[in-house]
Amino acid sequence: MPWFKGNLHTHTSLSDGDSPPGVVARWYDDAGYDFLCISDHNVRFDPVFLQSELLDEGRRLHLIPGEELTSWWQDDERTYALHVNGYGTSSSLGDVGGESVPGVLQGLVDRIVENGGMASVNHPNFWSSVGWKDLAALRQLQFFEVYNGHPLSYNDGTDDLPSMDTVWDLLLLQGQRVFGLAVDDAHYFQEWGTEFSNPGRGWVVVEAEEKTSAALTASLAAGRFYASNGPELSQIEVRSGESLRIVTYGASLIEFIADGEVVERVEGEIGFCRLRSASSLRARVVDPSGTAWVQPLVAM
């Protein structure tokens, strides 16, 4: 099956982005992306008319409907930013109330799933808002962002917060089978710099039968994709319940992680590892351009 490159989290002037949807979509098309989800805050963008315009111009970009459900929860000490992307939803869903961080998150996830969509918790370390135990408590969560291109996302953790890689392992050890996304969370298309959340920083590459919303979201739900902020992979072979084999373009460091521990490191273009007695096995590929994350294989 073919591979399709896409971004699943970006903003326009419909919420807090600096450019209208047409400008944003054409940037991604010009950059060679195959699909895009415009995910504005509590605004579901209906892509029908813009999709027609893109097709009339001979462009290849496919638009997936979505929305960033955005809620805030406050205790006596501070405010928490609780953002959950809904992919493939059919109507605008907005925010929800709740009496705790996981309570609000669960309400957002439930709304998305009940509306026929898939849910992803965004940038957990943004404002130190979502702990790994909050994520582990959620039902029907399918994705979280292992990498978010916003400069305040702290993907690598801080002195007080674990990295998103560590959070992923903790979730898998708790039996939470969740897939990791890499996204832009782009807001700025007119100003550029490390201090701005610009596009082109994080993406997913999905193996799907065709470039349609139904096929792409089905493959995402099945974990047939990898996430990246740099490296490109040539091949991923998964033997369910058995092993992972990865082929990269050019020399890379391929790390296989089983139950939170790096069990094998391979320097080169091909890596192979068996699940053996572990409950989960995933892989991380590192080269000078950044990191790519292969979705976890879990014991049958």
DSSP 164-229: HHHHHHHHHHTT---EEEEE--B--SSS-STTS--SSS-EEEEE-SSSSHHHHHHHHHHT-EEEES
pLDDT value of residue 299 = 86
Q: Do domains 3-229 and 230-300 have the same CATH topology?
A: no
- Sheet with 79-87, side-by-side order of all strands: 66-74, 79-87, 118-121, 143-148, 179-183
Cα–Cα dist 281/295, whole Å: 9
Structural domain boundaries in the chain: 3-229, 230-300
- The DSSP output letter for 65 is P
Cα–Cα dist 131/136, whole Å: 9
Residue 148's nearest CA partner among 48, 212, 213, 227 is: 227
- The continuous run of DSSP H or E covering 110 comes out as helix 101-114
pLDDT value of residue 71 = 95
pLDDT value of residue 288 = 96
Query: What is the domain class of 230-300 according to CATH?
Result: mainly beta
In the block, residue with structure tokens 């509306």? 115
Q: What is the pLDDT of residues 44-81, one digit of tens each?
A: 999 999 999 999 999 999 999 999 999 999 988 889 99
Cα–Cα dist 217/167, whole Å: 24
Distances in Å between the alpha carbon of 264 and those of 51, 132, 171, 289?
44, 25, 21, 21
Cβ(207)–Cβ(36) below 8 Å? no
Q: Give the chain's radius of gyration (CA, Å).
A: 18
Phi, psi (degrees; rounded to nearest 5) at 86: -110, 125
Residue 92's nearest CA partner among 112, 113, 64 is: 112
pLDDT, one tens digit for every residue, the chain (300 residues) = 899 999 999 999 999 999 999 999 999 999 999 999 999 999 999 999 999 999 999 999 999 999 999 999 998 888 999 999 999 999 899 888 888 999 999 999 999 999 999 999 999 999 999 999 999 999 999 999 999 999 999 999 999 999 999 999 999 999 999 999 999 999 999 999 999 999 999 999 999 999 999 999 999 999 999 999 999 999 999 998 899 999 999 989 999 999 999 999 999 999 999 999 999 999 999 999 999 999 999 986
Q: Are strands 280-287 and 233-239 parallel, antiparallel or unpaired?
A: unpaired
Residue 18's nearest CA partner among 187, 198, 149 is: 187
Q: Is the pTM above the cut of 0.85? A: yes
Name the CATH topology of 3-229: TIM Barrel (3.20.20)
Cα–Cα dist 102/131, whole Å: 9
pLDDT value of residue 214 = 96
Distances in Å between the alpha carbon of 168 and those of 61, 79, 109, 249?
30, 24, 18, 25
